[in-house]
């Protein structure tokens, strides 16, 4: 729409080296080709992909690349004087770490989609970028296409953020959506996710919360300016969730979601990933299928939610391209976004974190059982918010929702409940978040 | 969290003149006081409110201001050599327009929350900012606290946006939520909104879509880089929505929302505000009470939604503060965000816009009536997607949902239906959007 400015000169070219040409890399190269004229019109800059590093140069790619562009020498791309700016979409720690640090040291901005790297050594990388006075941007590393890092860093720069809760793993959200809407078991829903390509053959990284944990660490760094790494994140996955849990949740007005929760509590950072019951009228409850969303609570801003595609070649490449344009404009201005040094903060252990809880307890149906069970809660200072009883022949099922309580007190309650002779089994325990 | 950098020097001070000290202005001054140390730590800049222009200097304010800061001379604040940067939270066209242009001409960045001004002469203001090489930022002018303008301009800089649909007026969303959830009439819900302070005594600007129309014009400018003004926006309000419409919508799997819809169609811009039926599993459907949300569709990015508080002193001030920090950092760097000249684009008239439609037609219950009615649709090329019939004694009600059709063809269908002797009355007509 905007008119083309005087461009095409040497100064207006920004030459890009792309490390990795999988789904995201190939989609990015395609987008740069398709959108190049419009980007030139808006910014006065011509983005030009001059080098692409791939593992296997013989492999066919969905994008056309000029002779001499493709190489298997990623280090050579970083060092190439014909590369002004580096995009890293290889993933993993090495060689991505060395390549990123080398590029920054050479004064080349880096745009990264690498959550593992940022979650394990974000502070080191931010320091290297600040020392070199160039950008390291990584919108695509968390929640794919959703503008999250830039709003946290810029739009909310003056805000005191208190909590961020995210559905940041599309695979598990797809599985939980199928279990909720179709009543399928975890195993059936996982198999469906695998057949659709949403889940890996070995789904551990997704379903046990490792992927969401890395993203939680990055969110904590950006939201609170604190050094947090993936290893700091407490995580539980969804493989133990049963159709019965989901049915009880629905009956009680909740849906089950895998949440990354990041909070600042008296100067300490609590960061965790676990399944949670979310009230069905909470905005996160309506995030279905493989979509992601991040819910942000701040002192002045109130509640915000950012929703969109968390993965996929083109959505992720769109986020990379937004960063790329920003970094290219800054590079030509001789400017860069300031991240600031991350501060040290104590990571609050899960035992010291408070939450509401859902507990599903099977008891023998005899007089006095509720009093016995309730007194265990009371001994540990865990306050019951609601209880429902359901007959099961000789047995009964008691469903409790507690008020906010410390994890350690709930753990102690569970321990004592299991030792009570009127208690059969203690089923699932789920945290309850987002209640009003 | 981040350590305090070497600040407090003259260079690190950015002196701010605030025009207007109502809800938003007072909340902003409060936030700058509360968050100043943290902003200094993150950016190295000390924000200092040196002048505040108010209409009535005698009026008590909820914030403390030093002697000599408050004045009723807004022009003097803009000209004051002790003001580096101007915040305009007066609203309306004049004197806001003159003050804004004067500030920009003097090389002072402007942060504005003024939707009327931007929607009536955004292009003139953007040109003045670009000519002066300083920022004009206005995140707070559309959808209050929701980061929208910055994601559109930066995160999605490389994206081909195809459509933006927003719930951008909290008053009408509150009224429609009450009508949907409590079954109240429009008048009752409006009275409740008025008693809670969500609606003005004269609610016209909100309920007839003028407020949403101004925001739609601004969204169109930013999303498509096109000159669009409030007068280009077709708008219909919600005062004609009945509890019956809402009940039918629910029965058919929809909710009724007042939407601002902005599309690029073959290089033309379609921009309109009207009530619409939205599928109940669409993310916009779950936006309740006075919350706002903006749903963005792009070629590569897929679907995005940004959700939050659209109004209120502190939420709006939080958005102003994010812009203020950005503008202050840019000012000290001698840099500014480039908006680019807005292009001219034809505004597509509503007659030429396509949508699905819901029609509620009362007919006399006699043989052949459905055939007669259906043939009118057929004559105008309006294809019926679904029909339900409901008996009403001698009469029947026919509820149609159409496939996408041109507004002019639906208007012609309605005209002919009204002339059909088997048709009693034609009730509400609502557009249907967001269907899969």
* CATH number (domain holding residue A112): 3.40.50.720
Q: Determine the average pLDDT of the residues in A73-79.
A: 97
Which residue in the set A38, A147, A286 is minimally distant from B155, CB to CB? A147
Q: Are residues B325 and B270 in the same domain?
A: no
Q: Are residues B323 and B393 in the same domain?
A: no
Which of A342, A417, A422 has its CA nearest to residue A129?
A: A342
Q: Does residue B66 surpass a pLDDT of 90?
A: no
Q: List, for residues B281-294, the tens digit of each pLDDT value.
A: 999 999 999 999 99
Q: Does residue A257 surpass a pLDDT of 50?
A: yes
- Yes or no, beta carbons of B1 and A39 under 8 Å apart: no
Q: List, for residues A144-198, the tens digit of each pLDDT value.
A: 999 999 999 999 999 999 999 999 999 999 999 999 999 999 999 999 999 999 9
> Which residues, 6 or more positions from A195, have their beta carbon under 8 angstroms from its beta carbon?
none
Identify whether the C-beta of residue B161 lies closer than 8 Å to the C-beta of residue B291: no
Asked, for residue B26, whether it belongs to a domain, the answer is yes
A154 touches chain B (CB under 8 A): yes
Asked, for residue A343, whether it belongs to a domain, the answer is no
- Yes or no, beta carbons of B157 and A1 under 8 Å apart: no
Q: What is the pLDDT of residue B5?
A: 42
Asked, for residue A342, whether it belongs to a domain, the answer is no
Q: Which residue of B has its CA nearest to A3?
A: B343
- Yes or no, beta carbons of B321 and A150 under 8 Å apart: no
Q: What is the pLDDT of residue A10?
A: 55
Percentage of residues of chain A with pLDDT beyond 70: 97
Q: Are residues A260 and A125 in the same domain?
A: no
Q: Are residues B97 and B170 in the same domain?
A: no
CATH classification at residue B217: 3.30.360.10
A433 touches chain B (CB under 8 A): no
Q: What is the pLDDT of residue B333?
A: 87
How do strand B395-402 and strand A234-235 relate by DSSP bridges?
unpaired
Range from A257-261, A314-318, B338-342 carrying the lowest mean pLDDT: B338-342
Domain count, chain B: 3
Q: Does residue B302 surpass a pLDDT of 90?
A: yes
Q: Which residue of A has its CA nearest to B159?
A: A318
Q: Determine the average pLDDT of the residues in B331-350.
A: 87
Q: How confident is the model at residue A7 (pLDDT cuts 50, 70, 90)?
A: very low
Asked, for residue A341, whether it belongs to a domain, the answer is no
Q: What is the pLDDT of residue B11?
A: 63
Asked, for residue A128, whether it belongs to a domain, the answer is yes
Q: Determine the average pLDDT of the residues in B151-170.
A: 95
Q: Are residues A322 and A396 in the same domain?
A: no
B300 touches chain A (CB under 8 A): yes
Tell me how far apart the alpha carbons of residues B249 and B243 are, in angstroms, rounded to a whole number. 10
- Yes or no, beta carbons of A151 and B154 under 8 Å apart: no
Q: List, for residues B201-220, the tens digit of each pLDDT value.
A: 999 999 999 999 999 999 99
Q: Are residues A318 and A264 in the same domain?
A: no
For residues A294 and A425, which has the higher predicted lDDT (pLDDT)?
Answer: A294
Q: Are residues A200 and A121 in the same domain?
A: no
Q: Does residue A2 surpass a pLDDT of 80?
A: no
Burial B84-111 (b: 16+ CB within 10 A, else e): bbbbbbbbeeebbbebbbbbbeeebbbb
- Last residue in a domain, options A309, A341, A365: A309
Q: What is the pTM of this model?
A: 0.94
How do strand A354-364 and strand A395-402 relate by DSSP bridges?
antiparallel
Which residues of chain B lie closer than 8 angstroms to A292, CB-CB?
none
Catalytic residue annotation of A: 215
Provide DSSP, B30-77: HHHHHHHHHHHHHHS-EEEEEEEE-S-TTS--SS---TT-EES-HHHH
Average pLDDT, whole number, for chain B?
93
Determine phi and psi for B362, rounding to 5 degrees. -95, 130
Q: Are residues B184 and B277 in the same domain?
A: yes
Average pLDDT, whole number, for chain A?
93
Q: Are residues A96 and A160 in the same domain?
A: no
- Yes or no, beta carbons of B147 and A147 under 8 Å apart: yes
Q: Are residues A85 and A194 in the same domain?
A: no
- Yes or no, beta carbons of A302 and B321 under 8 Å apart: no
Asked, for residue B356, whether it belongs to a domain, the answer is yes
Q: What is the pLDDT of residue B427?
A: 86
Asked, for residue A274, whether it belongs to a domain, the answer is yes
Which residue in the set A301, A314, A343 is minimally distant from B309, CB to CB? A301
Q: What is the pLDDT of residue B150?
A: 94
Determine phi and psi for A304, rounding to 5 degrees. -125, 150
B300 secondary structure, DSSP code: T
| Joined tokens for residue B108 | 């002072």
Q: Are residues B61 and B125 in the same domain?
A: yes
Q: What is the pLDDT of residue B65?
A: 83
Q: What is the pLDDT of residue B7?
A: 42
Q: Determine the average pLDDT of the residues in B247-263.
A: 96
Asked, for residue B282, whether it belongs to a domain, the answer is yes
A335 touches chain B (CB under 8 A): yes
| Joined tokens for residue A353 | 């974190």
- Domain range for B28 is 10-144+314-333
Q: Determine the average pLDDT of the residues in A51-59.
A: 89
| Joined tokens for residue A45 | 């800059």
Q: Are residues A124 and A157 in the same domain?
A: no
Which residue in the set B150, B329, B343 is minimally distant from A1, CB to CB? B343
Q: How confident is the model at residue A42 (pLDDT cuts 50, 70, 90)?
A: confident
Locate tokens 């002697």: which residue? B67
Cβ contacts from A onto B, under 8 A: 222
Q: Determine the average pLDDT of the residues in A64-89.
A: 94
Q: Does residue A224 surpass a pLDDT of 90?
A: yes
CATH classification at residue A362: 3.30.70.260
């Amino acid at each position: 729409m905007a008119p083309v400015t005087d461009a095409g000169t040497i100064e207006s070219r920004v030459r890009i080296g792309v490390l990795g040409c999988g789904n995201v890399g190939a989609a990015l190269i395609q987008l740069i080709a398709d959108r190049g004229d419009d980007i030139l019109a808006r910014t006065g800059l011509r983005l030009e992909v001059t080098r692409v590093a791939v593992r296997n140069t013989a492999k066919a790619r969905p994008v056309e690349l000029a002779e001499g562009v493709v190489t298997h020498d990623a280090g050579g791309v970083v060092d190439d004087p014909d590369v002004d700016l580096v995009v890293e979409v290889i993933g993993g720690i090495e060689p991505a770490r060395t390549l990123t640090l080398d590029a920054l040291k050479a004064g080349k901005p880096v745009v990264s989609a690498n959550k593992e790297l940022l979650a394990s050594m974000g502070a080191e990388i931010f320091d290297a970028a600040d020392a070199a006075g160039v950008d390291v941007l990584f919108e695509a590393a968390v929640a794919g296409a959703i503008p999250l890092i830039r709003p946290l860093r810029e739009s909310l720069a003056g805000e005191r953020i208190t909590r961020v809760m995210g559905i940041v793993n599309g695979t598990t959200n797809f599985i939980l959506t199928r279990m909720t809407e179709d009543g399928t078991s975890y195993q059936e829903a996982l198999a469906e996710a695998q057949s659709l390509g949403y889940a890996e053959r070995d789904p551990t990284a997704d379903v046990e919360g490792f992927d969401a944990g890395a993203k939680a660490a990055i969110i904590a760094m950006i939201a609170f300016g604190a050094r947090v790494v993936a290893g700091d994140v407490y995580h539980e996955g969804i493989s133990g969730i049963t159709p019965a849990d989901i049915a009880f949740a629905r009956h009680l007005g909740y849906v089950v979601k895998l949440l990354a929760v990041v909070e600042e509590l008296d100067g300490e950072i609590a960061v965790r990933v676990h399944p949670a019951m979310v009230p069905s009228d909470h905005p996160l409850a309506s995030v279905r299928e493989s979509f992601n969303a991040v819910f942000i609570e701040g002192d002045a801003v109130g509640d915000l939610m950012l929703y969109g595609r968390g993965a996929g070649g083109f959505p992720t490449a769109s986020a990379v391209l937004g960063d790329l344009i920003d970094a290219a404009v800054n590079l030509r201005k001789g400017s860069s976004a300031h991240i600031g040094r991350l501060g040290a903060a104590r990571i609050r252990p899960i035992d010291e974190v408070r939450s509401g809880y859902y507990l599903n307890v099977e008891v023998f149906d005899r007089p006095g059982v509720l009093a016995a069970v309730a007194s265990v809660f009371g001994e540990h200072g865990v306050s019951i918010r609601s209880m429902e009883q359901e007959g099961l022949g000789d047995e009964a099922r008691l469903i409790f929702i507690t008020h906010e309580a410390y994890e350690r007190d709930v753990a102690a309650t569970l321990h004592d409940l299991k030792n009570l002779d009127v208690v059969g089994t203690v089923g699932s325990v789920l945290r309850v978040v987002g209640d009003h």
